[in-house]
């Protein structure tokens, strides 16, 4: 459990975004739910969302996790499958996906590359963003948020604004 507490401190940002009555709402996720994909999914179900609440999470300036919940459906994308060997949160993504964790996992995405297609970023565009090793996870998530229509709000909550 101490390992998980240390791990939560390595989360750079954890933000939920949801569309309600044609307006995007963006806020930080509570720290206590960041222990696993299941806990995050339970939290996301609390938000009123026409298109599903979306969690945008960056860890240790190294990898990202997108979780989208609409009703009982949980979709997710882990940017780096190799993170599952070292990080409990990434391992919980593998459990959710029903994948085995292997020590030799390559630095490739795992999960649903089409997770935000209806929000303006196609699977191929998301794959290109993830393949750009010059981009930090926060920058990729900011781009996804911008294409979805809540980029300014995301950047403000994430502390990425130039203001």
Average pLDDT over residues 64-89: 94
pLDDT tens-digit readout, 102-115: 876 678 999 999 99
Its sign, for the CA torsion 109, 4, 59, 67, is positive
Candidates 76, 75, 93; CA nearest to 84 is 93
pLDDT above 90: residue 92: yes
pLDDT value, residue 52: 87
Torsion angles phi and psi, residue 127, rounded to 5: -60, -40
pLDDT value, residue 71: 85
Q: CA-to-CA distance for 9 and 20, rounded, in angstroms? A: 30
Summary mean pLDDT of the chain: 91
pLDDT above 50: residue 1: no
73-78: strand order across its sheet: 23-28, 11-20, 53-59, 63-70, 73-78, 110-111
pLDDT value, residue 4: 52
C-beta neighbour count of 34 within 10 angstroms: 21
Q: How confident is the model at residue 3 (pLDDT cuts 50, 70, 90)?
A: very low
Read off the pTM.
0.93
Q: Domain ranges for the chain, please list them.
A: 2-158
pLDDT value, residue 7: 80
pLDDT tens-digit readout, 5-32: 568 889 999 999 999 888 999 999 999 9
pLDDT > 70 in the chain, percent: 94
Torsion angles phi and psi, residue 62, rounded to 5: -125, -40
C-alpha dist (Å) from residue 23 to 48, 59, 102, 107: 11, 27, 41, 35
């Amino acid at each position: 459990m101490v390992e998980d507490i240390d791990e939560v401190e390595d989360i750079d940002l954890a933000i939920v975004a949801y569309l309600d009555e044609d307006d995007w709402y963006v806020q930080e996720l509570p720290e206590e739910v960041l222990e696993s994909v299941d806990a995050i999914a339970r939290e996301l179900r609390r938000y009123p969302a026409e298109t599903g609440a979306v969690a945008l999470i960056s860890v240790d300036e190294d990898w990202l996790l997108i979780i989208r919940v609409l009703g009982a459906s949980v979709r997710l994308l882990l940017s780096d499958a190799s993170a599952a060997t070292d990080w409990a949160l990434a391992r919980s993504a593998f459990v959710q996906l029903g994948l085995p964790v292997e020590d030799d996992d390559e630095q490739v995405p795992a999960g649903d590359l089409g997770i935000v297609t209806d929000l303006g970023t196609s699977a191929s565009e998301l794959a290109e963003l993830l393949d750009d090793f010059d981009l930090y996870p926060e920058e990729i998530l900011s781009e996804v948020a911008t294409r979805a229509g809540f980029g300014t709000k995301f950047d403000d909550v994430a502390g990425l604004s130039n203001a």
